[in-house]
A = this chain, B = another copy of it.
Amino acid sequence: MTARGNLFIVSAPSGAGKSSLISALLKDKPTDKQVSVSHTTRQPRPGEVNGQHYHFVTVEEFKALIEDNAFFEWAEVFGNYYGTSRKVIEQTLNEGIDVFLDIDWQGAQQVKKLMPEAIGVFILPPSRAELERRLTGRGQDSDEIIAGRMAQAASEISHYAEYDFIIINDDFDAALVDLIAIIRSQRLTGAGQIHAQNDMIKDLLAD
């Protein structure tokens, strides 16, 4: 019996290093982990691969999926539809693959409502000073723009307590080990193991 994968929601303020952490996690293309691939009706750009960067569908297909309640969430942006398919995620989880959803706190709340077993991970920068340094960029932005980014970051951060795990990204390698430990430990929870190891446990308990 293959253990079902877990769904991880990963959120962070801009500047916390979330994308780098997820990239590092998936760098060696592990067979048991993947980011969720969204559906979209926009045209593929050069180099984009169907099923890898997006699931490219027609507007008719997308609307049929909406009708079918296939999406956790969907939105129309500049005339194109984008959505996160619950069905694709469920399928992937059932194949024993952990799925990572890179979304903000609003998306996280939505997913948690529909799938309470999803595991929320929040990435924080180590300090306000460091966050400001990371958001200042190459010194080309005005104080106003930087203040705006800081305010947006604080707004995202204010939802940290809604997550199951919190990683402080001070040292990148340590933060990556943290993330890996969380993922590995979630394969070992009683509920998961009782399902995955059912036959083995029955064998151990046999008279």
Please give the residue numbers on chain A whose beta carbons come within 8 Å of chain B beta carbons, in ascending order. Answer: 122, 124-128, 131, 153-154, 157-158, 160-161, 163-168, 177-178, 180-182, 184-186, 188-190, 193-194, 197, 200-201, 203-207
Contact = CB atoms under 8 A, between A and B. Distances in A.
Secondary structure class of chain A's binding surface, majority of residues: helix
Contact of A168 (B164, B167, B168, B197): B197
Nearest to A166: B193
B204 A128 contact: yes
B158 A205 contact: yes
Nearest to A206: B128
Tally of this chain's copies: 2
A73 B184 CA distance: 33
Nearest to A151: B207
Contacts of A189: 164-166
A157 B204 contact: yes
A157 B72 CA distance: 39
Contacts of A160: 190, 194, 201
A16 to B, nearest CB: 10
29 contacts: A124-B200, A124-B204, A126-B200, A128-B204, A153-B204, A154-B204, A154-B206, A157-B204, A157-B205, A160-B190, A160-B194, A161-B190, A161-B194, A163-B190, A165-B188, A165-B193, A166-B189, A166-B190, A166-B193, A166-B197, A167-B188, A168-B193, A168-B200, A178-B184, A178-B185, A178-B188, A181-B185, A185-B185, A185-B186
